[in-house]
Amino acid sequence: MSKKLIALSVLVMFVLAIGLAGCGQSAKPAEPAKPKVLKVGSDTAFAPFEFQDEKTKEYVGFDMDLIKAIGKQMGMEVQVQSMNFDGLIPALEAGNIDAGISAMTITDERAKKVNFSKPYYRSGLSMVVRADNNTLKTFKDLEGKRIAVQIGTTGADEAKKIKDATIREFNTAPEAFMELKAGGVDAVVNDLPVNEYYIAQAGGKDAKTVGEPLTSEDYGIATSKKNTELADKINKALDELKKNGEYEKIYVKWFGKKPPQ
Ligand code: ARG
């Protein structure tokens, strides 16, 4: 090897060594801290609270906008996991998700297993019958009839109290509505705003709601009993969104009117 070549290779090695050494140093620009992820479970077949946008495949709805706004307020990135409604509380108990938002009614029984945020939506149960039905007008008329409900819901609990009624339980609310349309049941007992949305979407030709709402219920965001810190943070974020007008904006977007005071 010529002297020149040796000198050159020494130089190359030197440069390489410096370059490599540089890699180990912390001279790299600091990466921005990744926002923490909030794993949220929801049964995303309950419009207008949670459902999948057919085109974008995104989960949308009142609950979805609300939980995203809450996440933003807490500096967390919300990741929604779709699951069966009756799997939400077990998933929280097992620690598979951090929170559940799913138009879930705050009940004493559920509150034994999970923590609930402050109420964020006032709801209630109503009954849906086929549009051409003129005999079923009140819950009393459902005695001895066939009723479709979603498994694990307050609607299922209430329907089971109706005398001599045959209860058909479905995994999702849309399946219960389909059964009504097909004539397999006489009525569906389910959350009023969801019933109204379904009827409006179908242009009122398939079904209608009748009678007075059966119950008054409040929806809450569920968290694990073990994570009281998260429950507090969610409540704080909710307060903040109510103060800064964001909650009202989301409410108006989905229900076309201002939230009741
Ligand atoms: N509010 C009712 C309940 O808590 C029904 C909720 C069903 N929610 C859903 N996303 N499917 O039992």
Residue nearest to atom 12 of ligand 1 (CA): 153
Give the whole-number percent of the chain exceeding pLDDT 90.
84
Name which of 11-25, 109-123, 161-175 the model is least confident about. 11-25
Which of 59, 101, 104 gets mutated to test ligand 1 (max ligand atoms within 8 A of its CB)? 104
Is the distance from the beta carbon of residue 105 to the nearest atom of ligand 1 less than 6 Å?
Answer: yes
Residues 133, 201: one domain?
yes
Which of 62, 88, 113, 153 gets mutated to test ligand 1 (max ligand atoms within 8 A of its CB)? 153
What residue numbers bound the domain in which 116 lies? 36-122+218-255
What does the alpha-carbon distance between residue 63 and residue 44 come to, in Å, rounded to a whole number? 10
Report, as an integer, the average pLDDT of 183-201. 97
Give the whole-number percent of the chain exceeding pLDDT 70.
89
Name which of 15-24, 118-127, 157-166 the model is least confident about. 15-24
* pLDDT given at position 33: 72
Residues 44, 108: one domain?
yes
Q: Indicate whether 171 pLDDT > 60.
A: yes
Residues 40, 113: one domain?
yes
- In the chain, the number of structural domains is 2
> Could you tell me the CATH number of the domain that includes residue 170?
3.40.190.10
| CA-closest candidate to residue 219, choices 178, 247, 183 | 247
* pLDDT given at position 35: 74
Is the distance from the beta carbon of residue 170 to the nearest atom of ligand 1 less than 6 Å?
Answer: no
Residues 48, 116: one domain?
yes
CB neighbour list of residue 44: distance below 8 Å, 6 or more residues apart: 50, 51, 52, 59, 61, 80, 82
What does the alpha-carbon distance between residue 44 and residue 226 come to, in Å, rounded to a whole number? 25
Residues 174, 96: one domain?
no
- Say if 62 falls within a structural domain: yes
Report, as an integer, the average pLDDT of 85-102. 98
